[in-house]
C-alpha cells in the first residue's frame, strides 16, 4: 500500500517536472531534443481502441504523453527490441491504454519529441477521403480545375489512342476512341494491368464495407448524383477499360506515348501520339475478372452497366479459352512507358475463372483451372494482390460465396489463412509490427506491405481472429510515419509528409496531390537517387527518385482498401 502511494507521488513529481520541460519545448524545438527525428509514431493517429506504439531510435527508459494543453497525461516504459525491419535495436513503448480522443505528442527525455498525432474513432476517414480523391486528380481526358488542391490543367490527351501496329481488327494509325481513365502514376500512360487491379480492389472494398461509402463523400464532380462517390470514381476506370477490348474479346495491354514526357510536362502539353500497343492474355484475364466484379457490384444499382460488364467479361473469357499465352509486345514498341510485363498468365486465368464462377454460378469456369480433386490444374502459389497477380481476390470471393463447391471453398480459405498467418508471424517479430524485413524492401514496398495487410483483412473475413485486423492496421501505421525515417508516405497527411514526388503534374504546377502514396523504401534503388541496400532507409523524397518516390494507381488502391477497413461509417 505504502509503496503504491510513493510510486504515485513519484509519478506526479516526474510529470510536474516534464510539464515544465514540455511547456518550454512544445511548439519550439530545442537543438538538443529535436522533434520527430528519433521518436516515431503514426503521424495521422490512432483509433481509440487500437494498439498504439512509440519507438525511440536511441536507448531510453520511459516516454511521456502530453496533450494539447501541455499537460502530461501518461507515462510508460520503453523496452529494447531487436528489430528485423530496420536491423537495429529500437526502444518501444506501448500506450494502447490511451483512448481519450485528442491531439498529443510524446516526449522522451534525452531523445526528443514525436510529431503530433490524433486519437479518434474516425482518424482514418481523411486517409480514405484523400486516398480516393487522388484518383479524381489523376483523371485523364478532362479539364482539371480543382479548388481544394489548386491543381489544374486544360483538356489532356484528346486523341487517345492510335493503333501502333495493325492487327486482325484495326489498321496501323486507326483511332480507337479511348479517352478517359486515369494517368497511371507520375507518368501519363494508361495501363490495363494497373487499371484492372485498381478497379477490382476499390469495388472489393465497397463489397465488404458498403456502409462506409456514400454520395458526396469525396467532393468529386459526380458528388450529388445519388450514388457513392467511390463507385463514380471506379467507373472512370471501368469505362476506359471497355475501350481497351477488341471485338474478339482480347484486351490491349496499354495506351501510352512512345517516350516518357519530360518531368515538368503538364498533361495537356504531352502532345506526342499516344499509341495502343498489342494485346496480352494476362491483361485479358485481369479484365475478365474485374468486369465480373463490376457486374456483381452494379447489378441492382445500374443494370445496364452490369450487363455490359458481364458480356465483356464473358467475351474476354472466350478469348482466353481459345488462346494460349500471348504477349504481343516487342522491345521496340516504346522507349518510355511502363512495361508491366509478364511471361505467364496463369494467375490471371485463375482470377477470371473464380470471379466468373461466382458471378454466374457456372462451374465450367472454375473447372478450367481446378480439377476434380479441387486442386489447381497447374501449380499456383497465392500472393498478396499486385499488378502482376490479382488472383487472391478471386480465391477470396469464391471462398466467401455460397453455391460453389464446398470442398474447394474450404481449400481456398485454408490457403488465404496460411498466407495471412505467415504475415501475422512477421508482424509479431518486428519492432515496427511491419511485415517487411530489411531485405524485402523493393520497388513499391509501401504498397506491398499494404497488400499484405489486405491479405490479413481477407483472412479476417474467413476466420474470426482480431489479430489479423490489428496486424493489417500496423501496416498503415508504418506508411503513415511509424518508421525509422519518421516519414509519412502519403502526401498531404502527417507532419513530415511527401513533398517532392516523381510526378509530372506536381512538378509542372508546384502543387501537391493530396492523398498520393509513394512507392517507398527500395533496396535496389534503380533511380540511383535513394541510398541502396539500406532497407527502410532506402528512400529519398526527391523528384528524380522514380523508384522510391513515384505514385501509381495500384498503390493507392491498396491504401484505400486498408483505410476503408478502418474508416468510421459516415454519419
CB of 550 to ligand 9MR, least distance (A): 4
196, 215 in Cβ contact below 8 A?
A: no
Binding mask 315-354 for ligand 9MR (x = CB under 6 A): -----------------------xxx--------------
Nearest to 309 by CA among 359, 366, 365: 359
Among all residues, whose Cβ is closest to ligand 9MR? 338
Cβ 96 vs Cβ 49: under 8 Å: no
Q: Which stretch binds ligand 9MR (CB under 6 A): 180-188, 209-217, 344-352, 484-492?
A: 180-188
Burial 306-323 (b: 16+ CB within 10 A, else e): bebbbebbbbbbebbeee
Listed in sequence order, the residues at least 6 apart from 245 whose beta carbon sits closer than 8 Å to its beta carbon are 251, 252, 287, 312, 315, 316
Dihedral of the alpha carbons of 418, 420, 423, 428, in degrees to the nearest 10: -100
Round to whole Å and give the CA distance between 485 and 95.
Answer: 21
C-alpha cell of 524?
A: 535496389
Instruction: Give the number of other CB atoms < 10 A from CB of residue 124.
Output: 25
Nearest distance from C-beta of residue 363 to ligand 9MR, angstroms: 34
Among 187, 233, 345, 477, indicate the residue that binds ligand 9MR (CB under 6 A): 187
Q: Which does 301 bind (CB under 5 to 8 A by kind): ligand 9MR, Zn ion, none?
A: none
The H or E element that residue 257 is part of is strand 254-257
Contact by Cβ (8 Å): 137, 153? no
Q: How far is the CB of 178 from Zn ion (least distance, A)?
A: 11
Question: What's the CA gap between 296 and 221, in Å, rounded?
Answer: 25
Count the residues of the shown chain that bind Zn ion, applying the rule CB under 5 A: 4
Span near Zn ion by CB under 5 A; candidates 134-142, 194-202, 394-402, 460-468 = 134-142
Q: Which stretch binds Zn ion (CB under 5 A): 59-67, 137-145, 345-353, 375-383?
A: 137-145
> Smallest distance from the beta carbon of 512 to Zn ion, in angstroms?
19
Nearer to ligand 9MR, 212 or 502 (CB): 502
Block residue for cell numbers 503514426: 42
Q: Which of 108, 119, 140, 567 binds Zn ion (CB under 5 A)?
A: 140
Alpha-helical (H) ranges within 274-405 are 281-298, 303-322, 346-360, 363-367, 391-400
Q: What interhelical angle do 192-208 and 391-400 show, nearest 10? A: 30
Is the separation of the CB atoms in 554 and 386 below 8 Å? yes
Alpha-carbon gap, residue 541 to 138, rounded angstroms: 20
Q: Applying CB under 5 A, which of residues 106, 156, 197, 490 lies at the interface with Zn ion?
A: 156
SS3 of 17-37: the string is: HHHHHHHHHCCCCCCCCEECC
Binding partner at 156 among ligand 9MR, Zn ion, none, C-beta below 5 to 8 Å by kind: Zn ion
- Only segment of 120-128, 153-161, 244-252, 392-400 that touches Zn ion (CB under 5 A): 153-161
Copy the grid coordinates of residue 275. Answer: 499509341
Pick from 54, 185, 200, 458: which binds ligand 9MR (CB under 6 A)? 185
Answer for which of 444, 507, 517, 563 binds ligand 9MR (CB under 6 A) is: 444
* Contact partner, 267, from ligand 9MR, Zn ion, none, Cβ < 5-8 Å per class: Zn ion
Nearer to Zn ion, 253 or 296 (CB): 253
Residue 492 touching ligand 9MR (CB under 6 A): no
Hey, what's the cell of 546? Answer: 522514380
Q: In angstroms, what is the minimal distance from the CB of 527 to Zn ion?
A: 24
SS3 assignment, position 219: coil
Q: Which residues contact 570 (CB under 8 A, 6 or more apart)?
A: 125, 212, 214, 217
Binding mask 267-286 for Zn ion (x = CB under 5 A): x-------------------
Nearer to ligand 9MR by C-beta: 335 or 569? Answer: 335
The least distance separating ligand 9MR from the CB of residue 236, rounded to whole angstroms, comes to: 18
What is the C-alpha to C-alpha distance for residues 361 and 353, in angstroms, rounded to an integer? Answer: 11
Q: Which of 52, 157, 212, 308 binds Zn ion (CB under 5 A)?
A: 157
CB closer to ligand 9MR out of 141 and 189:
189
Q: Which is nearer to Zn ion, 140 or 395 (CB)?
A: 140
Q: How many residues bind ligand 9MR (CB under 6 A)?
A: 12
Among Zn ion, ligand 9MR, none, partner that 54 touches (CB below 5 to 8 angstroms by kind):
none
Residue 184, contacted partner among Zn ion, ligand 9MR, none, CB below 5-8 A by kind: ligand 9MR
Short-list 171, 159, 348, CA closest to 253: 348
Joined grid coordinates for residue 545:
527518385
| DSSP single-letter state for residue 261 | P
Provide the mask over 543-562, with x wherever binding to ligand 9MR is found by CB under 6 A and - wherever it is not: ---x---x-x----------
Residues of the shown chain interacting with Zn ion in the complex, contacts defined by CB under 5 A: 140, 156-157, 267
Residues of the shown chain interacting with ligand 9MR in the complex, contacts defined by CB under 6 A: 184-185, 187, 189, 338-340, 443-444, 546, 550, 552
Amino acid at each position: 500500500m505504502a509503496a503504491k502511494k510513493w510510486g504515485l507521488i513519484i509519478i506526479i513529481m516526474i510529470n510536474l517536472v516534464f510539464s515544465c520541460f514540455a511547456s518550454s519545448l512544445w511548439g519550439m524545438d530545442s537543438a538538443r531534443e529535436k522533434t520527430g527525428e528519433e521518436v516515431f509514431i503514426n503521424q495521422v493517429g490512432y483509433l481509440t481502441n487500437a494498439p498504439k506504439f512509440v519507438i525511440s531510435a536511441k536507448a531510453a527508459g520511459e516516454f511521456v504523453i502530453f496533450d494539447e494543453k501541455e499537460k502530461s497525461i501518461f507515462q510508460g516504459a520503453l523496452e529494447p527490441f531487436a528489430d528485423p525491419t530496420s536491423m537495429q535495436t529500437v526502444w518501444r513503448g506501448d500506450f494502447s491504454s490511451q483512448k481519450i480522443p485528442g491531439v498529443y505528442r510524446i516526449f522522451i527525455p534525452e531523445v526528443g519529441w514525436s510529431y503530433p498525432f490524433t486519437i479518434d474513432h474516425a482518424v482514418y476517414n481523411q486517409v480514405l477521403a484523400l486516398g480516393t480523391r487522388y484518383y479524381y486528380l489523376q483523371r485523364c481526358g478532362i479539364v482539371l480545375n480543382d479548388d481544394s488542391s489548386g491543381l489544374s490543367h486544360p483538356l489532356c490527351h484528346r486523341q487517345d489512342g492510335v493503333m501502333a501496329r495493325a492487327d486482325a481488327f484495326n489498321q496501323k494509325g486507326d483511332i480507337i476512341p479511348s479517352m478517359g481513365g486515369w494517368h497511371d502514376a507520375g507518368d501519363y500512360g494508361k495501363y490495363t494491368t494497373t487499371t484492372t487491379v485498381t478497379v477490382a480492389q476499390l469495388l472489393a472494398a465497397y463489397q465488404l464495407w458498403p456502409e462506409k461509402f456514400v454520395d458526396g463523400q469525396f467532393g468529386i464532380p459526380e458528388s450529388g448524383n445519388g450514388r457513392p462517390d467511390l463507385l463514380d470514381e471506379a467507373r472512370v476506370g471501368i469505362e476506359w477499360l471497355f475501350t481497351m477490348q477488341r471485338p474478339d474479346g482480347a484486351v490491349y495491354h496499354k495506351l501510352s506515348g512512345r517516350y516518357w514526357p519530360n518531368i515538368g510536362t503538364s498533361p495537356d502539353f504531352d502532345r506526342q501520339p499516344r499509341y495502343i500497343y498489342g494485346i496480352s492474355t494476362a491483361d485479358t484475364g485481369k479484365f475478365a475478372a474485374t468486369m465480373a466484379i463490376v457486374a456483381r457490384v452494379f447489378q441492382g444499382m445500374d443494370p445496364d452497366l452490369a450487363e455490359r460488364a458481364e458480356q465483356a467479361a464473358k467475351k474476354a473469357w472466350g478469348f482466353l479459352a481459345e488462346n494460349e499465352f500471348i504477349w504481343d509486345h516487342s522491345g521496340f514498341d516504346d522507349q518510355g512507358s511502363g512495361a508491366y510485363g509478364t511471361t505467364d498468365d496463369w494467375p490471371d486465368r485463375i482470377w477470371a475463372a473464380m470471379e466468373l464462377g461466382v458471378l454466374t454460378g457456372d462451374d465450367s469456369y472454375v473447372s478450367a483451372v481446378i480439377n476434380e480433386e479441387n486442386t489447381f490444374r497447374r501449380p499456383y502459389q497465392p500472393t498478396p494482390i499486385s499488378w502482376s497477380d490479382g488472383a487472391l481476390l478471386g480465391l477470396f470471393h469464391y471462398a466467401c460465396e455460397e453455391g460453389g463447391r464446398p470442398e474447394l471453398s474450404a481449400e481456398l480459405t485454408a490457403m488465404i489463412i496460411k498466407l495471412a498467418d505467415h504475415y501475422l508471424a512477421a508482424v509479431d517479430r518486428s519492432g515496427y509490427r511491419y511485415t517487411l524485413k530489411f531485405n524485402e524492401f523493393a520497388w513499391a514496398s509501401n504498397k506491398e506491405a499494404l497488400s499484405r495487410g489486405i491479405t490479413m483483412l481477407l483472412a479476417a473475413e474467413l476466420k474470426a481472429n482480431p489479430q489479423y485486423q490489428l496486424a493489417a492496421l500496423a501496416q498503415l501505421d508504418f506508411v503513415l510515419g511509424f518508421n525509422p525515417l519518421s516519414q509519412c508516405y502519403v502526401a498531404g497527411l502527417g507532419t513530415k509528409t511527401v513533398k517532392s514526388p516523381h510526378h509530372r503534374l506536381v512538378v509542372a504546377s508546384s502543387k501537391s496531390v493530396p492523398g498520393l502514396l509513394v512507392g517507398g523504401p527500395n533496396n535496389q534503388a534503380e533511380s540511383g537517387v535513394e541510398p541502396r541496400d539500406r532497407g527502410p532507409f532506402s528512400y529519398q523524397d526527391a523528384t528524380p527518385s522514380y523508384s522510391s518516390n513515384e505514385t501509381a494507381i495500384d498503390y493507392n488502391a491498396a491504401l484505400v482498401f486498408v483505410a476503408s477497413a478502418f474508416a468510421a461509417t459516415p454519419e
